[in-house]
């Protein structure tokens, strides 16, 4: 292939196709190069894509119907104090309460392969060209500027810009001289098991909750605190994903024997942890085991965090740019955000006929200004668990778990989240109703297994007048919200005087008020439980029977 | 040609990868780091030096490359369309 392109995107994971679609939509001649035989063959993760990835990410994902395995309404943390005595504490404070769950989800669990395939089809639909089974082996560099790539097929493919979405190893970025091999302390090796389990059993045992286990190292129940993920279990539609992961090097010199350790952790967790042993083990069948490394602690190192993500003719996105989230260990939202920014900068650069390092610096500036990206790569709670581990301090352990994967996360998430929301609402106030529709549409599509390009939907036909009335009400309320927000836009300047300082101080406000607010919140939830449950049943029924078009954009 | 292994369910390996991981024997100090982190058992120590035993179960995680403090492990990608694949990632 000796054709010239405007943009070459290397890698068809989560980020690459987003960049490719946006570039192709803008009329740029775009090529995606993927090393595997089928898209998604080599993408491995246990995955809840957090809600903010969908809300603030690419329009075509937010307004579309991507393949999801199960909505997730929160996290149940098991703090294992003594496994032999069964002394286990639970922190399940991070949860979307009923009646909102599972329509308003904390995130969406997904298999990587169908999701990446879906994204690639969206990119190809807008004109991007996909070249599979092709490994990029080097860059073409002329006059100190990257002008394309060479492949294992012997092709020299030229382009004005290369967007590197290669993933965490970053071999291409190293060749381009903008990255170095990461130190092993920053990389966690994730050992992943996929189990088949009946949907009814998952509904009963897990519902919509992700389960995480944290235990002292000497119990050998999960990888040591702060040196990896502990243990995470994700419920999918008819299956579970189980992940234990640990950093490749701990305490500077010690490279653990992961072959032995993972065997030990896995056997202890499945044999000693009561909920796994009694409720899960008898109902599951191992379907697959795989592993991959990802760079969870890159963002904590200031030098690494500030490494350039661009050079003349090249931009790095997602994991290739080291944008893995330290706490949620999820790189997808940051991959989407960075892909979108990269594509827009690439489009501007090509229009301006300037793909130099100085022009593309705009990309790095935007990455550094992005509140959610910066929050997600620099969260310290997981890392701080090392201190709790070393000091064997239960109080600290509870605190860091609560702040990372409990309601305490609001004390550091609210300001970046609210800032990002504001910038979106400023651009288009009607986005709020698009978000609401997204949650309803996603749940309905999950219920019917009906995604773009799939044909599984079987409508439940109903001529109920009550339903029609509810559909009309739903549409009318959303219109009302739209017109209210549009009218508020006229008072934007006035409102920003209040809203901007409020958003800046939200984290501090949460820090001060959460200790009082949290017990009250949980008391009210308990009190309202019977009403919430009844309302929840009604809402779910409405969404299951409603005409899908009312949730479309 | 596609291969599977009993101990790693749900994963297939397409042959023809080429020698995408190599060891520079001159640099290797035989520290066993690569052996310790490779869940596929790709490495062995022979005469105090690491050696690639077989890449047939390699899942391309690059852990061997990361943990080699001497930069003796040379890691590249396998040829296009080869190596591991799974539907359950």
**DSSP characters for A1-30?**
---EEEEEEE--SSSHHHHHHHHHHTT--E
pLDDT in tens, A330-345: 899 999 999 999 999 9
For residue range A224-266, list pLDDT tens digits in order.
Answer: 999 987 889 999 999 999 999 999 998 888 999 999 999 999 9
Whether residues A60 and A159 fall in one domain: yes
Count H helices and E strands in chain A, helices first.
18, 18
With a CB-CB cutoff of 8 Å, which residues 84-113 of chain A face chain B? Answer: 111-113
Question: Do residue A262 and residue B39 have CB atoms under 8 angstroms apart?
Answer: yes
Q: Which residue has the higher pLDDT, A329 or A350?
A: A350
Dist CA A211 CA A229 (whole Å): 12
Q: What is the pLDDT of residue A2?
A: 66
DSSP string, A337-351: HHHHHHHHHHHHHHH
Pick the range with the lowest mean pLDDT from A104-108, A211-215, A233-237, B76-80: A211-215
Q: Identify the H or E element spanning A537.
A: helix A492-545
**Per-residue tokens: A502:** 């409020």
Q: How many beta-carbon contacts under 8 Å exist across A and B?
A: 133
Point out the residue among A36, A182, A192 whose CB comes nearest to the CB of B81: A36
Q: How sure is the predictor about A487, in pLDDT bands with cuts at 50, 70 and 90?
A: confident
Q: Clarify whether residues A217 and A283 are in a common domain.
A: yes
Spell out the residues 6+ positions from residue A67 whose beta carbon is closer than 8 angstroms to its own: A110, A111, A114, A115, A118, A451, A454
* Contact call for residues A325 and A305 (beta carbons, < 8 A): no
CB A17 within 8 Å of CB A320? no
Cis geometry, peptide bond prior to residue A184 (ω within 30 degrees of 0): no
B62-71: pLDDT as tens digits? 999 999 999 9
> Which residue in chain A is spatially nearest to B71 when comparing CA positions?
A181
Question: How far is it, in rounded angstroms, from Cα A37 to Cα A48?
Answer: 25
Contact between A114 and A122 (Cβ < 8 Å): no
Q: Alpha-carbon distance A367 to A339, whole Å?
A: 10
Helix or strand run (H / E) with residue A90: strand A87-91
Considering A294, A329, A359, which residue would you say is the last residue of a domain? Answer: A294
Q: How would residue A545 be classed by pLDDT, with cut points 50, 70 and 90?
A: very high
Q: In whole angstroms, give the CA distance from residue A307 to residue A178.
A: 8
- Between CA A531 and CA A538 the distance in angstroms is 11
**Mean pLDDT within A40-59:** 95
Residues of A in contact with B41 (CB under 8 A): 259
- More confident site: A60 or A231: A60
Per-residue confidence (pLDDT) for residue A190, from 0 to 100: 95
Q: Which residues, at least 6 apart from B5, have a Cβ–Cβ distance to it below 8 Å?
A: B11, B13, B56, B57
- Tell me how crowded residue A89 is: count the other CB atoms within 10 A of its CB: 14
pLDDT confidence bin for A188, thresholds 50/70/90 = very high
**Binary contact (B39, A255; C-beta < 8 A):** no
Return the DSSP state at B78. Answer: P
Instruction: Please state, for a pLDDT cut of 90, what percent of chain A lies above it.
Output: 86
Q: Reduce the secondary structure of A214-248 to three states and give it as a string.
A: EECHHHCCCCCCCCEEEEEEEECCCEEEEEEEEEC
Given this model, what pLDDT does residue A459 score?
A: 67
Which CATH number goes with the domain that contains A270?
3.30.9
pLDDT over 80 at A492, yes or no: no
Q: What is the mean pLDDT of chain A?
A: 94
pLDDT reported for residue A1? 62
CATH 3.40.50.300 fits B6-79, yes or no: no
Query: Residue A500: what pLDDT?
Result: 82
Tokens of A69: 């395995």
Torsion over CA: A219, B31, B67, A10 (sign): negative
For residues A162 and A204, membership in a common domain is answered with no
Question: Is the model more confident about A329 or about A256?
Answer: A256
As a whole number, mean pLDDT of residues A138-149 equals 96
**Could B39 and A258 be called an inter-chain contact, meaning their C-beta atoms sit closer than 8 Å?**
yes
* Domain range for A59: 4-66+110-182+299-378
The mean-pLDDT minimum among A221-230, A285-294, A366-375, A390-399 falls in: A221-230
Q: Which helix (H) or strand (E) holds A131?
A: strand A129-131
Q: Do A90 and A221 sit in the same domain of this protein? A: yes
Last residue of a domain, one of A244, A268, A294: A294
Residue A350, pLDDT score: 98
CA distance A49 to A68: 10
The CA distance from B46 to B41, in Å, is 14
DSSP-derived secondary structure letter, A96:
P
- Looking at residue A43, what DSSP letter applies? -
Contact between residue A1 and residue A155 where contact means Cβ atoms under 8 Å apart? yes
Residue owning tokens 């409508």: A459
What pLDDT is attached to residue A488? 83
Tell me, yes or no, whether A118 and A153 share the same domain. Answer: yes
- pLDDT for the residue A176: 96
Q: Are residues A482 and A421 in the same domain?
A: yes
Tens of pLDDT along B7-66?
999 999 999 999 999 999 999 999 999 999 999 999 999 999 999 999 999 999 999 999
Alpha helices by DSSP H, listed for A324-430, are: 332-351, 357-369, 371-378, 381-391, 394-405, 410-427
Both A273 and A309 in one domain: the answer is no
Per-residue pLDDT of A448-486, as tens digits, reads 999 999 877 676 677 789 999 999 999 999 999 999 988
| DSSP single-letter state for residue A319 | G
Subunit contact A40:B76, Cβ cutoff 8 A: no
A78, β-bridge pairs: A90, A213
- pLDDT bracket for residue A46 (50, 70, 90): confident
**A287: its two tokens:** 């379907």
Q: Total structural domains in chain A?
A: 3
C-alpha to C-alpha distance for A450 and A105, rounded to whole angstroms: 18
Whether A127 and A75 map to the same domain: the answer is no
B66:A293 CB<8 A = yes
Supply angle C-alpha A382, A386, A387, rounded to 5.
Answer: 115
The full set of domain ranges for chain B reads 6-79
Do A336 and A58 form a contact (C-beta atoms < 8 A)?
yes
What are the tokens at A163?
A: 């967007």
A384 falls within a domain: no
Per-residue CA distances from A63 to A25, A457, A538 (Å): 16, 18, 25
Q: pLDDT tens for residues A501-533?
A: 888 899 999 999 999 999 999 999 999 999 999
Looking at the fold, whether A504 and A527 belong to one and the same domain comes out as: yes
Indicate which of B62, B76, B84, B85 best probes the interface with A, i.e. most A CBs within 10 Å of its own CB: B62
Give the residue from A240, A265, A294 where a domain finishes: A294
Q: Do A181 and B37 touch (CB under 8 A)?
A: no
**What's the residue count for chain B?**
89
- The verdict on a CB contact (< 8 Å) between A255 and B75 is no
**Which residues numbered 293-332 in A keep a CB inside 8 Å of some CB on B?**
293
Q: What is the pLDDT of residue A503?
A: 86
- Rounded Cα distance between A391 and A121, Å, is 51
Interface confidence (ipTM) of the complex: 0.97
Same domain, A141 and A274: no
- For A139, residues 6+ apart whose C-beta sits below 8 A from its C-beta are A146, A148, A149, A150, A162, A172, A175, A176, A314
Name the band, by pLDDT with cuts 50, 70 and 90, for residue A498.
Answer: confident
In angstroms, the CA A10 to CA A339 distance is 12
- State the nearest Cα–Cα gap between B29 and chain A, in angstroms: 15
Model pLDDT, residue A464:
87
- Shortest distance between the Cα of A41 and any Cα of chain B, in A, equals 5
Tell me, yes or no, whether A430 and A515 share the same domain: yes
Secondary structure (3-state) at A282 = helix
What whole-number distance in Å separates Cα of residue A162 and Cα of residue A149?
8
Read off the DSSP letter of residue A309.
S
In this structure, are A240 and A349 located in the same domain? no
Interface of A with B in 209-228 (CB under 8 A): none
């Amino acid at each position: 292939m000796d054709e010239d392109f405007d943009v070459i995107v290397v890698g068809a994971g989560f980020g690459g196709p987003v960049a490719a679609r946006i570039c192709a939509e803008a009329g740029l001649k775009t090529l995606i190069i993927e090393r595997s035989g089928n898209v998604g063959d080599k993408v491995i993760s246990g995955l809840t894509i957090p809600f903010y990835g969908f809300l603030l990410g690419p329009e075509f994902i937010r307004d579309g119907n991507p393949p999801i395995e199960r909505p997730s309404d929160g996290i149940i943390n098991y703090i294992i104090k003594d496994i032999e005595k069964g002394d286990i504490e639970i922190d399940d404070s991070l949860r979307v309460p009923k009646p909102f769950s599972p329509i308003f989800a904390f995130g969406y669990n997904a298999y990587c392969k169908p999701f990446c395939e879906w994204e690639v089809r969206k990119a190809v639909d807008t004109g991007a060209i996909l070249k599979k089974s092709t490994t990029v082996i080097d860059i073409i560099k002329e006059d100190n500027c990257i002008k394309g790539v060479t492949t294992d097929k012997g092709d020299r493919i030229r382009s004005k810009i290369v967007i590197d979405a290669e993933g965490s190893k970053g071999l291409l970025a190293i060749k381009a001289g903008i990255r170095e091999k990461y130190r092993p302390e920053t990389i966690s090796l994730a050992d992943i098991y996929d189990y088949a389990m009946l949907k009814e059993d998952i509904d009963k045992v897990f519902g919509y909750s992700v389960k995480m286990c944290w235990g002292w190292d000497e119990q050998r129940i999960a990888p040591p605190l702060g040196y990896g993920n502990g243990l995470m279990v994700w419920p999918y539609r008819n299956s579970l994903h189980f992940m234990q992961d640990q950093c490749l090097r701990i305490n500077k010199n010690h490279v653990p024997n992961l072959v032995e350790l993972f065997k030990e952790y896995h056997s202890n967790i499945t044999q000693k942890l009561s909920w796994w042993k009694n409720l899960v083990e008898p109902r599951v069948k191992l379907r697959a085991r795989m592993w991959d490394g990802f760079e969870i602690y890159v963002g904590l190192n200031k030098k690494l965090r500030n490494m350039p993500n661009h050079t003349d003719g090249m931009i790095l996105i997602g994991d290739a740019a080291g944008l893995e989230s330290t706490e949620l260990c999820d790189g997808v939202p940051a991959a989407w955000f960075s892909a979108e920014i990269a594509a827009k900068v690439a489009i501007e650069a090509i229009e301006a006929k300037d793909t130099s390092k100085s022009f593309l610096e705009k990309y790095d500036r935007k990455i550094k200004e992005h509140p959610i990206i910066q929050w997600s790569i620099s969260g310290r709670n997981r890392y701080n668990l090392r201190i709790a581990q070393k000091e064997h301090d239960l109080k600290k352990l509870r605190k860091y778990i609560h702040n990372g994967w409990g309601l305490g996360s609001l004390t550091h998430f609210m300001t970046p989240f609210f800032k990002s929301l504001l910038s979106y609402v400023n651009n288009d106030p009607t986005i709020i109703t698009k978000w609401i529709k997204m949650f309803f549409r996603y749940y309905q599509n999950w219920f019917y297994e009906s995604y773009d390009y799939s044909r599984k939907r079987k409508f439940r036909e109903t001529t109920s007048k009550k339903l029609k009335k509810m559909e009309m009400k739903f549409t009318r309320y959303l219109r009302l919200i739209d017109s209210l927000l549009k009218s508020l836009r006229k008072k934007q300047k006035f409102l920003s005087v209040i809203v901007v300082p409020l958003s800046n101080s939200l984290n501090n406000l949460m820090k001060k008020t959460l200790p009082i607010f949290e017990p009250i919140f949980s008391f009210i939830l308990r009190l309202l439980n019977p009403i919430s449950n009844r309302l929840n049943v009604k809402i779910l029924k409405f969404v299951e029977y409603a005409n899908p078009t009312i949730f479309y954009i | 040609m596609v291969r599977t292994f009993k101990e790693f369910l749900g994963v297939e390996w397409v042959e023809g990868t080429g020698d995408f991981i190599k060891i520079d024997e001159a640099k290797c100090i035989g520290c066993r780091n690569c052996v310790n982190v490779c869940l596929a058992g790709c490495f062995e120590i022979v005469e105090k030096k690491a050696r690639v035993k077989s890449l047939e179960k390699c899942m391309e995680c690059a852990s061997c490359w990361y943990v080699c403090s001497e930069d003796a492990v040379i890691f590249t990608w396998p040829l296009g369309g080869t190596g591991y694949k799974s539907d359950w990632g």
